[in-house]
Structure 1
């Protein structure tokens, strides 16, 4: 959400005259700015219905303010008329805010019942009255501070943000869910996974198909710049008009009739500047009209002569030109941009799949576009599982480890501008896992969990997904290292399809599988994928096209039974691009092995190349972690 724009109005005769110092206005500005809001205006006005109401209308009707806070003029004296001025301009009362302000203020001082505070809405602006004292302003601000964001989201008609808040309230009011999963005694648990191990390519194909089916298109107003930046256009956008929409002058000079040739011209009184209606100016034979760059050329003029090719012959007493000499004979259409010469009506100006940046938005504004169809970016919930986990900052206890997965994955997604919901840590308890998953699915389109998907007696995530959410497990094992127990599921929750990536708990496994499975899915959902995939040899190259580098390894490597994504550093300095696999353990639990890496090198399995070692002559593919 972009910062809330707040205007502060101090209402006081004595402050307006300079007989007293305005202390409440600066205090409110500080409180607002401390909460990340942007104070766009400060006003100091005398008491009086007209002075206050006119200020409120000015600050609300020009769309500069989301919230207006007044301070002063709410008492019982004859000049205290701020509530009356506010009632004159608001269109809806916000009675709940009035009651909350009065109730909380009376808890601190009984005299607060003498404050006549009014709150209400004018157009899309919330207006709230505060008393005049610093203490009362601070107390009243604390009352409304926690609801301001949600109030402004509603006034801005930000349905996504409003829905998230309502879902959270709905969750908190619901009874705790009871999982239907009964844990199997350790002596009876399965010794082999019931899930078939599939190839990486097959797993990516499934993720792709399910992600494409879930893509959503929304229309955003071109005025919502902060929401549009980085979004991907969902369909070709054509220009509804030609550009320029009229014959436009390329130079500062004079609009003339070409057949008049060179020689003297009488200068008509009305200059042609950008934005003028060309029908208001008529150029006849023997006359010319001053014209600025970008100005519309009158229909009966067919050339523009730059000012450098003219000279003044006669001026009026006030210095204005009467007659100028055209030194060179002009040609037809000289220095005139024709209608549609830049952009034709119906021409595609922004193609489907284009990521919007400043230039693209400028083009859309140029052709008069009002709204833009874009792919909606997914909201992603992140949840860790495990009794052994501590959150960062928790006091350490024996046998515990700090949860690195949640921090790592949230940082990765935040870096790529996804909205992330932190679901915390779920204990190895079916009810807790069930309730946290339900809460996550209320708030997000995609859920990423780590841990609880292998063969341990407390690995319950898959069972909870299947029994409590009737999720379809598309795959539960992938032939890769690290990340063999990676699980991908979908379910319908509150009539909405959700994607669930249940990743292994080892830190490197979680990081690598999030990069390889969840990130491509999120890119597909947001429309951020390439169109031409016909030459790609596997699914990973297809959906990480911008990250791919073909190279060789710096030294021979012993191969594994599974394809291995090894952390490596790429050397671009020589004639060939070479990857040096980082020394030390590449265990999936060792996150340090990813710290210095800038790439994942896909090392094939023994079965794929029918060898035990990979030589330095064999080409491999690396995927840039930092891309």
Structure 2
């Protein structure tokens, strides 16, 4: 099981003023960290229902916390409001956990009967409330952590089957076996701790030691071969949105994600305006001849004279005294002012041909948007289509809070790789090398999506060059994207450098997909930041087609998650297509490059030809990836022409 993230909330009026008064929060943190959980310092709020709910909602909606533990405010004191704050948020109650905690505490004191704990899930986050005393906290956590209770609950909440626990129980093994079978450290490596209670460390490096000769390298990958679905779950669990900033509402805002609900600061329109070109007048004015006044010779705040009408254009405000608008088509020109040479100039008199009822062709204040109306929701993507930016401008918002867009550090690795624009032939045997295909193609894709790129160039196969490049990436970017160096060769250095030089974690090093089996996802702790903060690293295969496919499948969702996109929108959209070619199935999930077209019969997908992972031409013109299911022993061996399948849309769909 990957590392479980825990958030601690101390609820105390006293501690909110003086953080040193909080004893329970740090106690929980120490116990939880000793068990191998990923846990940051406690957050402290006063006994205020709104602030308590805000913390729980934020953690659960962002999806960056698996377990929220609160301490304080669960008794019968006047200010004890924790149960009242959290109970309305609970979607699935966990009465068994409540009973477990109360019964355990009753063994120590009958006063435990006065505690009012709450437990359950909010979205995919477990929430448990503990009392405020250090003694009670220790008693409750002891029983929750024993026998794998919380481990099992968190596994099920995350979509696990719990088969391992059930298998151990069926075999009659002890509860201690259950605990040891569910380590919280990444990749299931157990955290053993002694009486000195050291904080959990990253697991032992699995990669080969590059200081040893090639004969000492691994002959079989030490990294578990994970499914596509499990790989995506690891990415979404590890990658969290970046910080929030306030940005001006300009066209540069496209691509950002709103970090706040946007409420209209004022009525739109602010005052009565017209929806047509015409003349403002009174509904009591009968048909007849009237003088024409305009914004050039009449002040809006001055009441309109009874013998006059006010010329007005669509969207313009009505003058004082007017309550309706007659369209130009319902009037006739009577006279004009003459210019110096006797030619017709401005309108002088106009005849109205009909009487107009009150409010005709008039937009009332707030008829489009009223003050306080929700016009855009937190989590909405500000697209380049223009609707969101237009809406912000329409309601008069000059600045808005958004999640920061990630910056990507990009590099290729390998002594054999040559930069196209500064190519130098390799010395030695006269071989000229391979032009770097991946870096320019990935940079084009990233910049086309609106992401900033730090170009780290081509990094040779030596440890110091890898270390220097990664250090720069950690300083200047939010995500490191590399290609090459992920396989089993002695010069494949990326995993060893991440694990051995940066104390990083390789969350997965192989995936059951085609192309892209050696795709690697890792994270590296960042210096000088909050405890537990890590920057994601994607090491894609060196073959060009594999690199581009895995970029769209894995990296794009991670970038979107960093940028604050809702998880449901992070992966590229999928559509149902009719195959125009036979496609053979592989034991792995395959992403077959295709051209998607739309016609009278719907969407079709045509193969781009040979799908060899080194054949980048198979992606030239491709705008989709047909997702072929793994071949099973007794199942179909291919999808036939005319059958339907899902396809990931990676480009604009073409017309037939």
Question: 1:249 maps to which residue?
Answer: 274
For 1:518, which of 555, 560, 571 is the aligned residue?
A: 555
- Aligned equivalent of 1:566: 592
- Between the aligned partners of 1:317 and 1:472, the Cα distance in structure 2 is 84
Q: Does 1:379 align with 2:401?
A: no
1:394 and 2:394 aligned: no
Query: Mapping of 1:299-378 within 5 angstroms?
Result: 299-306=320-327, 309=330, 326-352=352-378, 353-357=380-384, 358-378=386-406
From 217, 230, 252, the equivalent of 2:244 is: 217
Structure 1 391/369 Cα, relative in aligned 2: closer, same or farther at 3 Å? same
CA distance in 2: counterparts of 1:308 and 1:614, whole angstroms: 64
Question: Does the 8 Å contact 1:258/1:331 carry over to 2?
Answer: yes
Offset, 1:264: 6.0
Q: Determine the C-alpha separation between the residues in 1 that align with 2:336 and 2:586.
A: 91
Cα offset, 1:474, TM superposition: 1.4
- Residues 1:192 and 1:334: Cα distance change in structure 2 (over 3 Å): same
- C-alpha change, 1:530 and 1:338, in structure 2 (3 Å) is farther
Aligned to 1:292: 312
Contact 1:599 1:623 in 2 (8 A): yes
CA distance in structure 2 between the aligned counterparts of 1:263 and 1:575, rounded to whole angstroms: 60
How many residues are paired up?
A: 428
Q: TM-score, normalised by structure 1?
A: 0.61
Shift of 1:246: 0.9
Q: 458-467 or 411-420: which moved more?
A: 411-420
Which whole-Å deviations, capped at 9, do the CAs of 1:320-340 have from their partners, x for residues lacking one? 988866543332223322112
Looking at structure 1, the residues matched to 539 and 235 of structure 2 have their Cα atoms a distance apart, in angstroms, of: 13
Alignment deviations for residues 459-483 of structure 1 (CA, whole Å, 9 cap, x no partner): 2211111122221221111111221
Does the Cα contact within 8 Å between 1:555 and 1:615 map onto a contact in 2?
yes
**Counterpart Cα distance in 1 of 2:350 and 2:602:** 68
Aligned-partner Cα distance in 2 for 1:311–1:361: 41
Pick from 599, 624, 632 the counterpart of residue 599 of structure 1: 624
Distance 2:396 2:299 in 1: 18
**Alignment match, 2:52:** none
SS in 1 for 2:410: strand
What CA distance in whole angstroms lies between the structure 2 residues aligned with 1:447 and 1:626?
Answer: 24
Question: Does the aligned pair in 2 maintain the 1:553–1:620 contact within 8 Å?
Answer: no
Partner of 1:194: 222
Q: Partner of 1:485 in structure 2?
A: 518
Find 1:504's aligned residue among 541, 545, 561.
Answer: 541
Aligned partner of residue 524 in structure 2, secondary structure: strand
In the TM superposition, residue 245 of structure 1 has moved relative to its aligned partner by: 0.9
Q: Judging changes above 3 Å, is the alpha-carbon distance between structure 1 residues 569 and 306 closer, same or farther for their aligned structure 2 residues?
A: closer
Q: Which deviates further from its counterpart, 360-369 or 316-325?
A: 316-325
1:475 aligns with 508
Find the counterpart in structure 1 of residue 439 from structure 2: 406
Taking the aligned partners of 1:599 and 1:300, their CA distance within structure 2 comes to 61
Gaps of 5+ in 2: 1-207, 340-344
Contact kept in structure 2, 1:181 and 1:463, CA below 8 Å: yes
For residues 511 and 405 of structure 2, the distance between their equivalents in structure 1, rounded to whole angstroms, comes to 27
C-alpha distance in 1 between matches for 2:566 and 2:634 = 30
Structure-2 change in CA distance of 1:339 and 1:577 (3 Å): closer
- Backbone CA RMSD of aligned residues: 3.4
Q: 1:108-119, aligned counterparts within 5 Å?
A: none
Give distance in 2, aligned partners of 1:611 and 1:462: 37
Task: Give the match's secondary structure for 1:462.
Answer: helix
Distance 1:277 1:564, change over 3 A: same
CA contact (8 A) 2:209 2:217 kept: no
Question: Could you tell me how far 1:382 is from its partner in structure 2?
Answer: 0.9
CA distance in 1, matches of 2:484, 2:367: 60
Give the TM-score taking structure 2 as reference length: 0.58
1:156 aligns to what?
A: none
Q: Which residue of 2 aligns with 1:278?
A: 300
Question: Does the CA contact (< 8 Å) of 1:483 and 1:503 recur in 2?
Answer: yes
- The equivalent of 2:95 in structure 1 is none
1:23 aligns to what? none
Cα deviation for residue 247 of structure 1 reads 1.1
- Does the 8 Å CA contact 1:272/1:296 hold for their aligned counterparts? no
1:341, distance to aligned residue in structure 2 (A): 1.8
